[in-house]
Amino acid sequence: MRRWRLVLGGEEGADGTRCVLSGRDAAMDAALTALYGGGGAGAGRASRERSAGLGASAPSVARWLGDIRTYFPSSVVQVMQRDAIDRLGLSTLLLEPEMLEAVEADVHLVGTLLSLNKAMPETTKETARAVVRKVVEDLEKRLATRTRSALAGALDRSARVNRPRHHDIDWNRTIAANLKNYLPEYRTVVPERLIGYARASRSVKKEVILCIDQSGSMAASVVYASVFGAVLASMRSLDTRLVVFDTSVVDLTDQLDDPVDVLFGTQLGGGTDINRALAYCQSQITRPSETVVVLISDLYEGGIRDEMLKRVAAMKASGVQFVALLALSDEGAPAYDRQHAAALAALGAPAFACTPDLFPEVMAAALQKRPLPVPDAA
């Protein structure tokens, strides 16, 4: 009954559970009531509805943020913060340094801060950058090693050698080449000939262009793409370029050594001109057969649709590996332009949503010109 009481809310058992909360449970209920309360549909229900109590003052919100961090786990705190911003219109309070220091930082909060970037006073920007940097560093710790490992392997697998170092042995090919030497009594294969990968070269092998839609709905994707862009840029075998666009195009490649600078160089919101962005990317391609272009966009095109599709077709015909991601985030299935997605699929460029954990595999497949690991449609 206690859990039902916390879910339903209500005063002194008025929810029907006849469960009266006290102590820590009462404090948790107060925190939930402050966020998820609201006016009822009719007067008869007024006494049974929770009523919102956060108000719009920074001190009361800061206290509430402290309360929810005390009573709920981090994952729940992040959801409640997001709901508070959406339901109660508290985004403007994030312009105050004291508020930023109290919140639980996550990707969604970073997206909100980036959307407020132009309105943010100078006194707040330093705190905002610290919050963004914390999230970025956490993401890099989670994603960088796996990404570098997957892509380094993909870049080195085109060349084969017969005297590989132990950790460069391609065991699948080695076993297949030595099956004739199978010894049944020992249930083993004697590897007379080793097959492995060539040593990594320090020269640039592939070029990658990340083309990122910075419309408001793509906020989380912009955050993840900036982190991945910085990781890719740190690999000597890749020449990585990062381009963001709305109705204009901005090349942020020279800021890739610091993804925080990249993020604060974006401007979330506004229209979308994918054709214009792809035209710029196309102009930067010098080795088509060694280039991967990754378009990250929900494909709601405000530019010239037919020209956009012609550019994609031309790039693919020249040998470019073209990848279209509808989203790069953990937010689930995104809203997107299905007609444009179908048109790209007809050109041999399937558009799909990609999680951050899947992205290294997608890039590895693109670099090796293998079929992309497109997730099954829900």
The maximal CA–CA distance of the chain, rounded, in angstroms, is 85
Q: Is residue 114 part of a domain?
A: no
In which band, very low, low, confident or very high, does the pLDDT at 329 lie, cut at 50, 70 and 90? very high
Question: Checking DSSP bridges between strand 196-197 and strand 160-161, what pairing results, if any?
Answer: antiparallel
What is the percent of the chain where pLDDT is above 70? 80
Rounded Cα gap, residues 267 and 241, in angstroms: 18
3 state DSSP class of 48: helix
Residue 60, domain member (yes or no): yes
Residue 199 is predicted with a pLDDT of 57
- CA atoms of 114 and 216, how far apart (whole Å): 10
Quickly list H helices, the chain: 2-8, 23-36, 58-71, 74-88, 97-102, 107-115, 122-156, 171-177, 219-233, 259-264, 274-283, 305-317, 338-346, 359-367
Boundary (domain end) residue, out of 178, 197, 216? 197
Residues ≥6 apart with Cβ < 8 Å to 314 = 282
Residues 6+ apart with CB under 8 A from 133: 260
Domain boundary among 169, 197, 225: 197
Same domain, 191 and 224: no
pLDDT of amino acid 377: 57
Q: Which tokens sit at 251?
A: 């090349």
- 208 and 84, same structural domain? no
pLDDT at residue 200 greater than cutoff 70: no
* Same structural domain, 177 and 249: no
Q: Which of 57, 82, 104 is the last residue of a domain?
A: 104
Whether the pLDDT of residue 41 is over 50: the answer is no
On whether the CB atoms of residues 334 and 375 are closer than 8 A, the answer is no
Distance CA 364, CA 104 (A): 33
- pLDDT at 347 > cutoff 80: yes
Q: Are 184 and 211 in a shared domain?
A: no
Q: Say whether both 350 and 266 belong to one domain.
A: yes
Range of the domain at 241: 202-367
Asked if the structure places residue 147 within a domain, the reply is no
Q: What are 14-26's pLDDT values in tens digits? A: 455 566 666 677 7
Question: What pLDDT, in 10s, does the model give residues 161-184?
Answer: 677 777 778 888 889 888 998 999
Lowest mean pLDDT among 24-33, 132-141, 258-267: 24-33
pLDDT, tens only, 56-92: 454 466 667 667 777 888 788 778 877 877 776 667 6
9: pLDDT confidence band, cut at 50, 70 and 90? Answer: low
pLDDT for 31: 75
State the average pLDDT over residues 259-269: 87
- Spacing of C-alpha 349 from chain mean position: 20
pLDDT band at 43 (very low <50, low <70, confident <90, very high): very low
pLDDT at 27: 76
Q: What is the pLDDT of residue 128?
A: 87
Q: Is residue 99 part of a domain?
A: yes
Asked if 287 and 336 count as a contact pair (C-beta separation under 8 A), the reply is no
Same structural domain, 229 and 192: no
Is residue 280 domain-shared with residue 308, that is, in the same domain? yes
- Residue 241 parent element (H or E): strand 238-245
pLDDT at 52 over 50: no
pLDDT of 6: 60
Residue 136 has pLDDT above 90, yes or no: yes
Higher pLDDT, 116 or 183: 183
Distances (CA, A) of 338 to 203, 213, 276, 345: 40, 17, 20, 10
Based on the structure, what is the number of domains in the chain? 3
In degrees and rounded to multiples of 5, residue 314 shows phi and psi of: -65, -40
Scanning the structure block, which residue is given the tokens 């890739």?
Answer: 256
DSSP state for residue 372 in the 8-state scheme: P
In a domain, 111, yes or no: no
Residue 150 maps to a domain: no
Domain assignment of residue 124, yes or no: no
Rounded to whole angstroms, the Cα distance separating 272 from 335 reads: 15
Q: Where are the alpha helices (DSSP H) in 157-256?
A: 171-177, 219-233
Specify the CATH number for the domain of residue 206: 3.40.50.410
| 225 and 328, same domain (yes or no) | yes
Same domain, 70 and 172: no
CA-angle at 227, arms to 145 and 290, nearest 5°: 80
Task: State how far the alpha carbon of 368 is from the alpha carbons of 150, 155, 328, 371, 372, in Å.
Answer: 11, 7, 21, 9, 10
Residue 280 lies in a domain: yes
Task: Judge if 84 and 169 occupy the same domain.
Answer: no
Q: Which of these ranges, 71-80, 135-144, 210-219, 356-365, has the smallest mean pLDDT?
A: 71-80
Same domain for 189 and 206, yes or no, is no
49 vs 42: CA distance, rounded Å: 10
Verify that 171 and 300 share a domain, yes or no.
Answer: no
